[in-house]
């Protein structure tokens, strides 16, 4: 059996003097979507940043296709991992097309201008997300959902093997949430991308995930298929609220409803 | 022209001397200083992700000022004053960068900026002390004159030290223009996109430090150009450094040449450049702010 696309082995993460997560282990295969749940402050972003190499791991090993990545350069990581941050730090009025083109940085030498290949890849990524109409608009001036799609397009332009999205649907309207999750799901399928995404809506796992990981108390509380993990008991343990998980449409999907509203 | 072709000069000798020995070096110095300050400002604004940053942000002007004021205070020759100013600028930035490198575990850019502010203030206090102690009849006017900036003393010798340094500083900014764009996204995103942010920051800071120190050594403190000209350029052609850098260079060079010409001709005595850059630049800036480049879709 070949090595999984991403293997996280006994990973502890956090900041100097403050370990946030202890000894997490899980794997994500090619074409698989892993959805990470956990309360605010549970360290989902910290976990992602550690996987991306933006924070050094406190302990443990990360492997991509079986190879340890601790000594990888930022450039090599960027060729493997595409990152969609929760908020982009961009402060200058670049156009969406320029922003997406920045996703190609790792594909060229430090002094090189973007090549025709780079521009084609950026255009293709923009088309894949269906945001051609935004290409020439300033990225700071588009709506939150459109900006998020632009960041996904940028990550896609990186041509990564693993896509990491930190709460990609936070602050999106309902339609854009569906659009982003659908885009993620179809990218995983058509491009065999491994996807890690975090969310505060457990239900979204039924829409797009193959696996769900629940973080609680700095540990991996549970990991498995959405139907097995997203249960009243797990959600109670994770969020300290009573939730009913109800099947709809002959159990093709499940909804999570706080019991408070059912009384 | 005649000089270049080797033909006999049609001009009388004094006119030739004025043009080649006095005006020409001054024009070239204005172009080079303006271009250097504007390019450094544009690079720092991108690097620090803040359009309100000027080349002084890491203490280079304060360091250069202290160097020059020490030189004037010790009654050193002009060349030595310029050298002291250049060295002072470099020293300030190196101290600031050293402090930022030593303090780990915090936002690297924030530490750099704060270290720049406090070191700049410290060097500024040094300048204040020397002004207080200086001989009020000879040294103090010289110090004041220097701190307000002037190209009146520019000569061919200044150019031979200024121009190569400016070119050396511009080369890395030019070749790294695409990566400098990515730096505007911030440390984490730039790293996630594959940049070695630490190395890039060192290179950009070193390039801007060299250019600014050389410019300040040649002309004294000329504020405003490094802060506002990149802004004008960005309002005109947008934030992409591949366009921002050449346009900043042109605007900076053209602007300082125009201001220096005005400084030379507007009054009976020469006016300080630092005063005129702000006086002329402010209305231009406000006009562009009101009527400059808007988003294409509005």
Q: What is the CA radius of gyration of chain B?
A: 20
Alpha carbon distance B190, B177 (integer Å) = 14
| B75-B81-B83-B89 Cα dihedral, nearest 10 degrees | 120
- Interaxial angle between packed helices A144-157 and A174-191, expressed in degrees from 0 to 180 and rounded to the nearest 10: 10
Confidence tier at A101 by pLDDT (50, 70, 90): very high
CB B240 to CB A94 under 8 A? yes
Inter-chain touch A98–B179, beta carbons under 8 Å: no
Residue B56: DSSP 8-state: G
Query: Where residue B295 falls among pLDDT bands split at 50, 70, 90?
Result: very low
Find out whether B99 and B93 touch, Cβ atoms under 8 Å: no
d(CA A212, CA B12): 88
Three-state SS string across B78-143, please? HHHHHHHHHHHHHHHHHHHHHHHHHCCCCCHHHHHHHHHHHHHHHHHHHHHHHHHHCCCCCHHHHH
Residues of B in contact with A81 (CB under 8 A): 192
Which DSSP string do the residues of A103-140 spell out, in sequence order? GGGGGS-TTPPP-HHHHHHHHHHHHHTT-GGGTTSBGG
Contact B184 A90 (CB under 8 A): yes
Is 70 exceeded by the pLDDT of residue B7?
A: no
pLDDT at A155: 94
- Helix, coil or strand: residue B69: helix
Q: Which residues of B touch A78 (CB under 8 A)?
A: 192-194
Q: In this predicted model, what pLDDT tens digit does every residue of B100-154 receive, in sequence order?
A: 888 876 777 888 889 999 999 999 999 999 999 998 888 898 898 888 888 888 8
CB-based contact A113 B179, cutoff 8 Å:
no
Tens digit of pLDDT for each residue in A153-185?
Answer: 999 999 999 999 999 888 788 888 888 888 889
Residues 6+ apart with CB under 8 A from B240: A94, A98, B181
List chain A residues with CB under 8 Å of B295: 93, 137-138, 141
Report CB contact under 8 Å: A78, B297: no
Cβ-defined contact of B182 to A88 (cutoff 8 Å): no
Q: What average pLDDT score do residues B244-262 get? A: 94
The answer to whether the Cβ–Cβ distance between B184 and A114 falls below 8 Å is no
- List, in order, residues 6 or more apart from B269 with CB less than 8 Å away: none
Tell me, yes or no, if the pTM score tops 0.90.
no
**What is d(CA B252, CA B40) in angstroms, rounded to the nearest whole number?**
10
| Residues B1 and B16 sit within 8 Å (Cβ to Cβ) | no
Interatomic CA distance for residues A170 and A148, integer angstroms: 10
A113-149: per-residue pLDDT in tens?
899 999 999 999 999 888 999 999 998 888 888 888 8
Average pLDDT on B19-40 reads 91
Sketch out chain A's domains with CATH numbers: 6-229 (3.40.50.300)
With H, G, I as helix, E, B as strand and everything else as coil, classify residue A225: coil
DSSP bridge partners of A223? A213
Strand partners, A203: none
CB contact under 8 A, B105 and A16: yes
pLDDT band at B43 (very low <50, low <70, confident <90, very high): very high
Task: Please tell me which of the candidates A89, A92, A141 has its beta carbon nearest to residue B189.
Answer: A89
Residue A79: its pLDDT value, please? 95
Whether the per-residue pLDDT at B5 is higher than 70: the answer is no
Edge to edge, the sheet with strand A194-198 lists: A81-84, A162-165, A194-198, A33-38, A211-216, A219-224
- How many other C-beta atoms lie within 10 A of the C-beta of residue B297? 11
Query: In angstroms, rounded to a whole number, what is the distance separating the alpha carbons of residues B32 and B30?
Result: 6
Contact B177, B237 (CB under 8 A): no
pLDDT for the residue B34: 95
In whole angstroms, how far apart are CA A80 and each of A52, A74, B197?
Answer: 9, 10, 18
For residue A114, the tally of other CB atoms under 10 A from its CB is 18
Chain A to chain B, count of Cβ pairs less than 8 Å apart?
A: 100
The lowest-confidence range among A175-189, B87-101, B160-174 is A175-189
pLDDT band, very low/low/confident/very high, at B297 (cuts 50, 70, 90): very low
State the Cα angle at B49 between A120 and A83, rounded to 5°: 45
Quick check: A259 pLDDT over 50?
yes
Q: What is residue B18's predicted lDDT score, i.e. its pLDDT?
A: 79
Structure ipTM: 0.90
The secondary structure of chain B in percent helix, strand, coil, rounded to multiples of 5, reads: 80, 0, 20
A15-28 pLDDT, tens digit each: 888 889 999 999 99
Residue in chain B nearest A138 by alpha carbon: B295
Whole-number Å distance between alpha carbons of B285 and B291: 10
Q: Tell me which of A96-105, A115-124, A240-249, B103-112 is least confident.
A: B103-112
Q: b/e for B11-44, b at 16 or more Cβ within 10 A? A: eeeeeeeeeeeeeebbbbbbbbbbbbbbbbbbbb
Work out the percent of chain A whose per-residue pLDDT is above 90: 66
Q: Which two tokens stand for residue A10?
A: 């006994």
Take residue A260 and report the two structure tokens written for it. Answer: 């408070």
The interaxial angle of helices B225-237 and B273-291, nearest 10 deg, is: 20
Sign of the Cα torsion A146, A151, A153, A154 reads positive
Nearest chain B residue to A151, by CA: B189
Q: How many angstroms away from the CA of B19 is the closest CA of chain A?
A: 40
Tokens representing residue B104 in the block: 């780990």
CATH for the B24-291 domain, from 1.10.1130.10, 1.10.3470.10, 2.30.29.30, 3.20.20.80? 1.10.3470.10
Mean pLDDT of chain A: 91
pLDDT reported for residue B8: 62
A90 contact B CB<8A? yes
Kindly tell me if the per-residue pLDDT of A206 is higher than 50: yes
According to the model, what pLDDT value does residue A145 have? 81
Q: Which two tokens stand for residue A263?
A: 């009384």
Chain B hits for A85, CB-CB cut-off 8 Å, are 188-189, 192
| CA distance, residue B90 to nearest chain A CA (Å) | 26
Please tell me the distance from the alpha carbon of residue B106 to that of residue B214, in angstroms, as a whole number.
Answer: 31
β-sheet bridge partners, residue A8: A26, A62
Structural domain boundaries in chain B: 24-291
| pLDDT surpassing 60 at residue A61 | yes
With cut-offs at 50, 70 and 90, classify the pLDDT of residue A53: very high
B175 touches chain A (CB under 8 A): yes
Element (H, E) at A80: helix A74-80
Q: Tokens representing A176?
A: 């854009």
- What does the DSSP 8-state code read for residue A95? B
> Chain B closest CA to A144's CA: distance in Å?
17
- A8-13: average pLDDT: 94
Q: Are A153 and A129 in contact (CB under 8 A)?
A: yes
Pick from B179, B184, B295: CB nearest A92: B184
* Choice among A145-154, B177-186, B267-276 with the minimum mean pLDDT: B267-276
């Amino acid at each position: 059996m070949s090595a999984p696309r991403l293997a996280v082995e006994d990973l502890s993460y956090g900041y100097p003097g403050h370990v946030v997560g202890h000894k997490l282990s899980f794997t994500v295969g090619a074409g698989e979507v892993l959805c990470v749940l956990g309360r605010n402050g549970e360290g989902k972003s910290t976990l992602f940043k550690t996987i991306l190499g933006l924070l050094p791991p406190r302990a443990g090993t990360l492997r991509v296709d079986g190879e340890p990545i601790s000594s990888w350069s930022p450039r090599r990581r960027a060729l493997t991992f595409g990152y969609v941050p929760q908020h982009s730090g961009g402060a200058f009025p670049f156009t969406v097309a320029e922003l997406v083109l920045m996703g190609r940085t790792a594909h060229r030498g430090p002094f090189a201008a973007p090549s025709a290949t780079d521009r084609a890849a950026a255009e293709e990524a923009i088309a894949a997300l269906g945001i051609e109409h935004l290409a020439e608009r300033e990225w700071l001036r588009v709506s939150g959902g459109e900006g998020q799609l632009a960041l996904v397009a940028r990550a896609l332009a990186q041509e990564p093997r693993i896509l990491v999205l930190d709460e990609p649907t936070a602050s999106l309207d309902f339609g854009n949430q569906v659009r982003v999750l659908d885009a993620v799901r179809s990218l995983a399928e058509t491009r065999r991308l491994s996807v890690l995404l975090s969310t505060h809506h457990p239900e979204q796992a039924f829409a797009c995930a193959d696996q769900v990981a629940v973080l609680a108390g700095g540990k991996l509380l549970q990991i498995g298929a959405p139907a097995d993990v997203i249960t009243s008991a797990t959600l109670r343990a994770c969020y300290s609220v009573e939730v009913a998980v109800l099947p709809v449409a002959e159990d093709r999907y499940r909804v999570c409803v706080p019991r408070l509203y059912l009384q | 022209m005649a000089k270049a072709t080797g033909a006999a000069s049609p001009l009388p000798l004094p006119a030739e001397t004025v043009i080649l020995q006095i005006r020409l070096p001054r024009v070239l110095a204005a172009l080079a200083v303006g271009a250097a300050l504007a390019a450094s400002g544009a690079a720092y604004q991108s690097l620090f992700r803040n359009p309100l940053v000027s080349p002084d942000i890491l203490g280079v002007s304060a360091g250069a000022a202290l160097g020059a004021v020490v030189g004037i205070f010790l009654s050193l020759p002009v060349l030595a004053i310029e050298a002291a100013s250049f060295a002072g600028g470099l020293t300030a930035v190196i101290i600031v960068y050293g402090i930022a490198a030593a303090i780990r575990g915090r936002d690297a850019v924030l530490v750099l900026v704060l270290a720049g502010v406090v070191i700049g203030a410290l060097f500024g206090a040094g300048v204040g002390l020397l002004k207080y102690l200086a001989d009020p009849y000879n040294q103090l006017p010289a110090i004041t004159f220097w701190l307000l900036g002037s190209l009146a003393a520019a000569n061919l010798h200044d150019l031979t030290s200024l121009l190569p340094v400016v070119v050396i500083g511009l080369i890395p900014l030019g070749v790294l223009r695409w990566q400098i764009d990515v730096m505007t996204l911030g440390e984490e995103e730039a790293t996630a996109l594959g940049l070695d942010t630490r190395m890039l920051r060192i290179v950009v800071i070193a390039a801007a430090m060299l250019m600014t120190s050389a410019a300040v050594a040649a002309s004294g403190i000329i504020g405003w150009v490094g802060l506002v000209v990149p802004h004008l350029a960005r309002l005109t052609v947008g934030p992409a450094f591949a366009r921002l850098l050449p346009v900043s260079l042109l605007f900076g060079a053209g602007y300082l040449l125009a201001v220096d010409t005005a400084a030379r001709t507007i009054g009976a005595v020469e006016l300080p450049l630092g005063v005129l850059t702000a006086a002329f630049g402010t209305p231009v800036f406000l006009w562009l702010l009101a009527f400059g480049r808007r988003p294409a879709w509005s």
